[in-house]
Amino acid sequence: MKVLLWLHLASRPLKLEELQQALAVEQGDTHFKVDNIPSRKLILDSCIGLALMDEETMTVRFVHYSLEEYFRLQSNIYFPYGHRTVLEAFLRYLNFRDIREHCKSIVELQKKLQDFPFLEYAAVTAHEIGRYEG
């Protein structure tokens, strides 16, 4: 259900690496745990055929647009606290020490974005939610 939640609430298709890092964030974490990153196989198998990997774009998506429409209509049933769950994951991720440390050069920033592929999506989306909500 966590995978389906992220696919349902994503503002754009999520790349596999982004989704893996999003799913690795757990309540109570104070630092990013690489050991929590689920494999591609585990992510897709857990969706029992409702999601697939687009090999060309390396994004994970619902198998058919009608499934997204179904979840949109039934969101209150399947994901009653979905937005809160996702926003909390963004904030937790962005506050991990390795991620929140300031970069002193463009090279450091590029390295951080490479090491933490979910960083750009989390920062931009959390900012957009804050502007919309605030």
Residue percentage of the chain with pLDDT more than 70: 95
- 3-state DSSP: the chain helix, strand, coil percent, rounded to 5? 60, 5, 30
Number of domains in the chain: 1
Distance CA 19, CA 25 (A): 10
Q: What is the mean pLDDT of residues 71-93?
A: 92
pLDDT of residue 67: 94
Predicted pLDDT of residue 38? 97
Average pLDDT, the chain: 91
Q: Is the pLDDT of residue 86 over 70?
A: yes
Query: Is pLDDT at 133 greater than 80 in this prediction?
Result: no
Domain that holds residue 117: 2-133
